[in-house]
Amino acid sequence: MAGPVNADPSPLFYDDDHLRRILKQVRTIAMVGASPNWVRPSNFAMKYLMGKGYRVIPVNPGHAGKEILEEMTYAGLSDIPDAIDMVDVFRSSGQAGGVADEVLKVYEEKGIDVVWMQLGVRDDEAARRLEGAGITVVMNRCPKIEYGRLFGELSWCGVNTGIISAKRRSL
């Protein structure tokens, strides 16, 4: 995974309510690039999301047929037998286009509504193709960090969440 995209002339903005809706609607996530190595961010992002009640299905051709965090790993999206709500792209920006092609082949059959590219991953051209098929796209964000930001946990490490509200947060 590359570092965050800094030199980009057109920063990406996503409305908080939009991201909140995605994170509330989605239940099953296929994580492309999930690592079996517990020190890799993909592994502990997967673990975090599982802890929040999501089912996360790892996709990693090098690890297909074996389990990551007790979930069976598949070589590609088309190999997953179950329905998928969202694809989380834990690959480099250069590989995002290939993942998008794979999504476009199976999104109707699998029911994929959202493609979420990780922090540092952005491919505007791939996003246009996906959006053309009616798929919602988020880029250069981490669903774990956004979940933490929108539901209160990220504030615990001093991050400016941008959330201003006098409403009591539900537990």
Partner 1 sequence: MSKPPKEYGIETLAIHAGARPEPVTGARNTPIYQTTAYAFEDAEHAADLFNLQTFGFIYSRLTNPTVSVLEERVASLEGGRAAVCAASGHAAQFLAFFTLLDPGDEFLASTNLYGGSITQFSHSFNRLGWNCHFVDPKDPENFRRALTPKCKAIFIEVLANPGGVVLDLEPIAAIAKDAGIPLIVDNTLATPYLCRPFEWGADIIVHSTTKFLSGHGTSMGGALIESGTFDWAKDGKFPTMTEPDPAYHGLTFYETFGDFGFTMKARTVALRDFGPAMSPANAFYTITGIESLPVRMDRHISNAKTVAAFLEAHDTVDWVSYAGLESSPYHGLAKKYLPKGAGSVFTFGLRGGYEAGVRLVESVNLFSHLANVGDTRSLILHPASTTHRQLTDEQRLAAGAGPNVVRLSIGLETADDLLADLDQGLTLTAKETT
Q: Which of residues 129-148 bind partner 1 (CB under 8 A)?
A: 142, 145, 148
Report the candidate in 64, 127, 75, 117 with the shortest Cα–Cα distance to residue 92. 117
For residues 140 and 116, what is the distance between their CA atoms, to the nearest angstrom? 8
Which one, 106 or 154, has the nearer CB to partner 1? 154
CB of 49 to partner 1, least distance (A): 11
Task: Look at residue 60 and give its three-state secondary structure.
Answer: coil
Q: Per CB under 8 A, does 168 bind partner 1?
A: yes
Q: Per CB under 8 A, does 13 bind partner 1?
A: yes
Q: Per CB under 8 A, does 63 bind partner 1?
A: no
Which one, 64 or 140, has the nearer CB to partner 1? 140
Q: Per CB under 8 A, does 48 bind partner 1?
A: yes
Q: Per CB under 8 A, does 166 bind partner 1?
A: yes
- Given the rule CB under 8 A, which of 12-20, 55-63, 85-93, 102-110 is the region that contacts partner 1? 12-20
For residues 145 and 129, what is the distance between their CA atoms, to the nearest angstrom? 26
Show the CA angle centred on residue 130, arms to residues 7 and 19, nearest 5°. 70
Please list, in sequence order, all residues whose beta carbon lies within 8 angstroms of the beta carbon of residue 110, skipping any fewer than 6 positions away: 77, 80, 83, 84
CB of 130 to partner 1, least distance (A): 14
For residues 149 and 138, what is the distance between their CA atoms, to the nearest angstrom? 15
CB of 150 to partner 1, least distance (A): 12
Site string for partner 1, 88-117 (x = CB under 8 A): ------------------------------
Please list, in sequence order, all residues whose beta carbon lies within 8 angstroms of the beta carbon of residue 61, skipping any fewer than 6 positions away: 75, 76
Amino acid at site 5: V
Give residues in contact with partner 1 (CB under 8 A): 1-4, 6-7, 10, 12-16, 18, 39, 41, 44, 47-48, 51, 119-120, 142, 145, 148, 152-171
